[in-house]
């Protein structure tokens, strides 16, 4: 019986050994790696799930997510699965790198172990991350929570699912956390609570109060309500709605959103995740959008939609009787001049300064000067027209709608946050009042970032 037991035990050991995954190791960049790391994962060993990506003809392994103290937000940590030597004017030789989530999702496509060529597999790290904190109980991956909603008040991503519920170093306050406002205007007046004011952009309500404080006559508002009612179209019961494809962070999409709200044209709002092609809404959007960009409007029963923000502004306006275009030929001419020159110049200067475009200027001082010059031109336009709108007293026009999303981002501190740029209230007082006038206008208020968030 003892012999039979010993033989059986040996047979079990041999069988287990024969079925276990083989993990042959070699050295890549000085680090031991398995020849077939996925076999180890499938075999049940305590290893993390490996993530591989492809960009053009190169392969990369995502190592995790890291907090960047300079930009005050999370970035993707990854390594090239090839020997990455220095490239003139681009980067130094490196073993690992970081990239913003937006840049990562735009350029890198997921792939599997089976997709990797042999030369790429040689660079795989079988255990790229580990737990450095024995008390860590949060998920390993971050989620997008939007601005001002992280526990620290910094960045747009967090490991926590409800980070603003327990803010770090939050000021003492009796205000309740922000709830979804019942109306767009209520969102403007709602104070932003439970965030550290030292580490966040101001709320829309704070911006409006700042504008109102510098305008003693308050000529642009009436008891905190929109001073001008939007021209609206009474929808016909038989009028089918358009489908509006939008990404809430996109200023170009916001333009068309404002126009749809201002004219009352019936529409269905479809939010699109541009970087997740597997989602049904994204697949459908890519099928109907000519250039696969937002904004896109799809007419009922149409196979293809229409895109490009400025042409779509005219499309929406013409569909509702032209209420957003001045009847006076001279004013209409002035509107087209703004759309052809000063407003595109501001858009280019905004993105050039934010992204450090060399083609705008080789120096940051030059890019800052280009932005100020573009704002100066619009300030002079308001001086010439007399306000409160870009074309004067005639009401909100396509030019105002095309400009607002970018002024909103400037005044809410995007450039201050990333580039240390603070707009001069003394230099551009009319633009301050114009922005406040827009914020108190219901169609605009319905699309501001606090509502989008």
pLDDT at 344 over 80: yes
Measured CA to CA, the distance from residue 70 to residue 270 in angstroms comes to 35
What pLDDT sits at residue 222?
Answer: 32
pLDDT at 87 over 90: no
Q: What is the DSSP letter of 5?
A: H
Average of per-residue pLDDT across 340-348: 95
Report how far Cα 140 is from the mean position of its chain's Cα atoms.
22
pLDDT at 306 over 70: yes
For 269-281, write each residue's pLDDT tens digit: 999 988 887 888 9
- How many residues are listed for the chain in this entry? 453
| Residue 71 exposed, middle or buried by CB count within 10 Å (0-12, 13-18, 19+) | middle
Banded model confidence at residue 341, pLDDT cuts 50, 70, 90: very high
What pLDDT sits at residue 261?
Answer: 95
pLDDT at 326 over 90: yes
What pLDDT sits at residue 238?
Answer: 57
pLDDT at 102 over 80: yes
What pLDDT sits at residue 163?
Answer: 57
Measured CA to CA, the distance from residue 288 to residue 298 in angstroms comes to 7
For 431-449, write each residue's pLDDT tens digit: 989 998 898 899 999 998 7
| Residue 258 exposed, middle or buried by CB count within 10 Å (0-12, 13-18, 19+) | buried
Q: What is the DSSP letter of 51?
A: E
DSSP state string for 55-109: ETTEEEEEEEEEEETTTTEEEEEEEESS----BTTTB---S-EEE-HHHHHHH-E
DSSP state string for 365-379: HHHHHHHHHHHHHHH
What's the pTM?
0.53
Measured CA to CA, the distance from residue 147 to residue 409 in angstroms comes to 12
CA distances from 389 to 122, 245, 336 (A): 62, 28, 15
For 386-403, write each residue's pLDDT tens digit: 989 999 998 999 999 999
DSSP state string for 217-250: T-TT-BTTB-SSPPP-----TT-PPEEEEE-TT-
CA distances from 425 to 109, 215, 420, 428, 429 (A): 44, 12, 15, 5, 5
Q: Of 83, 131, 446, nearest to 262 (Cα)?
A: 446
Report the percentage of the chain scoring pLDDT > 90: 36
What pLDDT sits at residue 298?
Answer: 95
Weakest-pLDDT range from 105-119, 285-299, 314-328:
105-119
Banded model confidence at residue 24, pLDDT cuts 50, 70, 90: very low
For 230-282, write each residue's pLDDT tens digit: 334 444 445 689 999 999 889 999 999 999 999 999 999 999 988 887 888 99
Measured CA to CA, the distance from residue 312 to residue 242 in angstroms comes to 12
> How big is the CA angle at 95 (ends 130 and 66), to the nearest 5 degrees?
45
Measured CA to CA, the distance from residue 141 to residue 163 in angstroms comes to 14
Measured CA to CA, the distance from residue 185 to residue 223 in angstroms comes to 12
Mean pLDDT of the chain: 74
What pLDDT sits at residue 417?
Answer: 80
| Residue 211 exposed, middle or buried by CB count within 10 Å (0-12, 13-18, 19+) | buried
Measured CA to CA, the distance from residue 162 to residue 129 in angstroms comes to 24
pLDDT at 205 over 60: no
Banded model confidence at residue 340, pLDDT cuts 50, 70, 90: very high
Banded model confidence at residue 149, pLDDT cuts 50, 70, 90: low
Banded model confidence at residue 202, pLDDT cuts 50, 70, 90: very low
More confident residue, 326 or 452: 326
pLDDT at 2 over 70: no
Neighbours of 99 (CB within 10 A): 17
Banded model confidence at residue 146, pLDDT cuts 50, 70, 90: low
Number of helices followed by number of strands (H, E) in the chain:
17, 13
pLDDT at 321 over 60: yes
Banded model confidence at residue 106, pLDDT cuts 50, 70, 90: confident
What pLDDT sits at residue 172?
Answer: 36
What is the H or E stretch that residue 256 is in? Answer: helix 251-263
What pLDDT sits at residue 49?
Answer: 60
| Tokens (6 digits) for 254 | 């916001």
Measured CA to CA, the distance from residue 394 to residue 301 in angstroms comes to 36
pLDDT at 383 over 50: yes
What pLDDT sits at residue 453?
Answer: 55
What pLDDT sits at residue 98?
Answer: 93
Banded model confidence at residue 373, pLDDT cuts 50, 70, 90: very high
pLDDT at 188 over 80: no
Report the percentage of the chain scoring pLDDT > 70: 67
> How big is the CA angle at 253 (ends 249 and 255), to the nearest 5 degrees?
115
422 and 432 in contact (C-beta within 8 Å)?
A: no
412 and 449 in contact (C-beta within 8 Å)?
A: yes
Measured CA to CA, the distance from residue 390 to residue 378 in angstroms comes to 8
């Amino acid at each position: 019986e003892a012999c039979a037991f010993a033989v059986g035990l040996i047979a079990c050991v041999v069988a287990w050994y024969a079925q276990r995954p083989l993990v042959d190791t070699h050295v890549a960049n000085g680090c031991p790696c398995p020849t077939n790391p996925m076999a180890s994962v499938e075999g049940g060993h305590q290893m993390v799930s490996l993530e591989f990506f492809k960009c053009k003809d190169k392969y990369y392994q995502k190592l995790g997510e890291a907090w960047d103290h300079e930009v005050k937000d999370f970035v993707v940590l990854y390594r090239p699965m090839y020997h990455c030597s220095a490239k003139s004017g681009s980067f130094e030789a490196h073993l690992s790198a970081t990239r913003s989530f937006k840049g990562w999702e735009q350029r890198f496509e997921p792939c599997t172990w089976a997709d990797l060529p042999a030369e790429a597999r040689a660079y795989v790290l079988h255990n790229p991350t580990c737990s450095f904190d024995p008390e860590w109980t949060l998920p390993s991956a971050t989620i997008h929570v939007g601005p001002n909603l992280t526990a620290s008040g910094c960045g747009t991503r967090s490991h926590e699912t409800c980070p603003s519920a327990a803010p770090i170093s939050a000021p003492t306050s009796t205000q309740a956390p922000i709830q979804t406002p019942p109306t767009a205007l209520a969102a403007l007046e709602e104070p932003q609570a439970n965030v550290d004011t030292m580490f966040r952009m101001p709320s829309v309500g704070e911006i409006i109060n700042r504008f109102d404080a510098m305008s003693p006559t308050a000529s642009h508002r009436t008891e905190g309500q929109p001073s001008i009612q939007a021209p609206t179209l009474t929808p016909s019961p038989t009028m089918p709605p358009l489908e509006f494809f939008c990404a809430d962070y996109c200023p170009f999409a916001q333009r068309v959103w404002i126009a749809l709200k201002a004219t009352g044209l019936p529409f269905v709002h479809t939010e699109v995740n541009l970087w997740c092609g597997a989602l049904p809404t994204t697949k459908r959007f890519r099928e109907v959008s000519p250039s696969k960009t937002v904004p896109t409007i799809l007419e009922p029963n149409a196979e293809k939609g229409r895109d490009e923000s400025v042409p779509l502004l005219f499309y929406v306006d013409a569909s509702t009787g032209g209420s957003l275009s001045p009847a006076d030929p001279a004013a209409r001419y002035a509107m087209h001049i703004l759309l052809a020159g000063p407003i595109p110049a501001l858009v280019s200067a905004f993105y050039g300064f934010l992204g450090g475009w060399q083609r705008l200027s080789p120096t940051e001082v030059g890019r800052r000067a280009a932005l100020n010059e573009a704002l100066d031109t619009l300030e002079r336009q308001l001086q010439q027209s007399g306000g409160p709108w870009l074309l004067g007293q005639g009401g909100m026009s396509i030019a105002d709608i095309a400009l607002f999303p970018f002024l909103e981002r400037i005044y809410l501190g995007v450039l201050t946050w990333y580039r240390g740029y603070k707009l001069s209230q003394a230099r551009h007082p009319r633009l301050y009042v114009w922005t406040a006038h827009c914020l108190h206008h219901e169609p605009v208020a319905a699309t501001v970032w606090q509502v989008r968030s």
